[in-house]
Chain A
Amino acid sequence: MIEDLSELLTIVLQADYYFALPTLSGTFSGVLLGSPMFKRDPLPDDEHNEFVENASKIILAAKKFRHAVLFRECFIHLVANFHGSLYAENPTALQDDKDVWLLLNQRVSHLRKMILEAQHEILMASIQDYLQTDLYTLVTEEYFFGNVSFILWGIGTMPSG
């Protein structure tokens, strides 16, 4: 079992040296599952553990030996923290890797789209609560990114005062 981060990176480095990356990729999930490096950092409560802190480094290693699960694990953290503290350690490394950077941007857009959808539904639900009518009977067209004009229309129909 992999105990910590340096062990993980050393193994990848050695596998690369001995041309054993494909073999490593197939067998790596087992040694990662249950590894203590994914445990919660016991001291300051809301700090990230070592793994998350170094996600920008590990994602490149995971790409190297093509391990989809580990790659996605890092990717989730990096998308959630886009341009945040996880990028501070090595700010240009991810931008230099064109494939990863493109993917990151696309998936961040996707996440923002999901949040926007949720915000839109909150607005719709509250407009409806306020107007006491079913807005969806008035609007059948699919909204998206252009939804602001519709919301403004919604405000326009509100009784003033």
Chain B
Amino acid sequence: MFRSYCGELARCRVDEAATSKPREDAALWRLLSEGHADLSWKILLANKALLISWHDQYFRIEQIRLVAESWHPEKDARFYQALRLQVRGDYHVSKARRKLLSALDDLPESKLVFDQTGCSAGEGPYKDYFLCENMPDEKMPWDSEETDW
């Protein structure tokens, strides 16, 4: 029963009202976050399968072969990098293209600071990598107000 309940909660985790209580229980909250990550992984995988099967019939995007190289949706950095270059000029075309462009804007970006490899997402050692993770300072696992510890 616990498991099915967890699945239910993980599904509606986005819903703040449903999560205010479990958030207080650290262990449960961690479990739910794990479940949520798992769930979004599965949705992502299904969506990618859909994307690839669709392409065979309807797509007009050339770089799709990059996406079809692997079944791992988190290793498609090269594809999104290439796609962004392709659709960059399409800004005025239609609302769907504009939304596509804005969705693609953040993904291929690199947020690394110290890195000196000169490679961004989709290149060299990071050819399978998204480097756009940008965690805000206040989310760091310590109290940023504290000066002495």
Contact = CB atoms under 8 A, between A and B. Distances in A.
Report if A and B associate in a common complex.
yes
A134 interface: yes
Contacts of A69: 113-114
Contacts of A107: 133, 135
A80 B74 contact: yes
Contacts of A119: 44, 47-48, 51, 73
Interface in A133-154: 134-136, 144-145, 147-148, 151
Contacts of B85: none
- Most chain A Cβ neighbours within 10 Å, of B26, B37, B134: B37
Chain A interface residue number, banded: 35 or more
A76 B41 contact: no
B87 to A, nearest CB: 8
Given A68-B140, A111-B74, A126-B54, A40 B117 contact: yes
Given A48-B125, A125-B100, A63 B115 contact: no
Given A33-B114, A39-B116, A49-B117, A112 B60 contact: no
Contacts of A103: 135, 139, 141
Given A49-B125, A118-B103, A125 B97 contact: yes
Contacts of B107: 114-115, 118
Interface residues of B, number: 68
Contacts of A68: 137, 140, 144
28 contacts: A22-B149, A35-B114, A40-B119, A49-B125, A72-B111, A76-B111, A76-B131, A77-B129, A100-B141, A102-B29, A107-B133, A107-B135, A109-B37, A113-B40, A114-B106, A115-B76, A115-B130, A116-B40, A116-B44, A119-B51, A119-B73, A122-B100, A124-B96, A125-B96, A126-B61, A136-B95, A147-B47, A148-B47
Given A105-B33, A124-B99, 15 more contacts: A32-B114, A40-B125, A46-B125, A49-B117, A80-B130, A80-B133, A102-B29, A102-B33, A111-B130, A114-B132, A117-B103, A119-B73, A125-B96, A134-B94, A147-B47
What are the nearest 4 A-B pairs in CB distance? A99-B141, A40-B117, A121-B100, A112-B40
Interface of B: 14, 26, 29-30, 33-34, 36-37, 40-41, 43-44, 46-48, 50-51, 54-55, 58-61, 73-74, 76, 80, 83, 87, 94-97, 99-100, 103-104, 106-107, 111-119, 124-127, 129-135, 137, 139-142, 144, 147-149
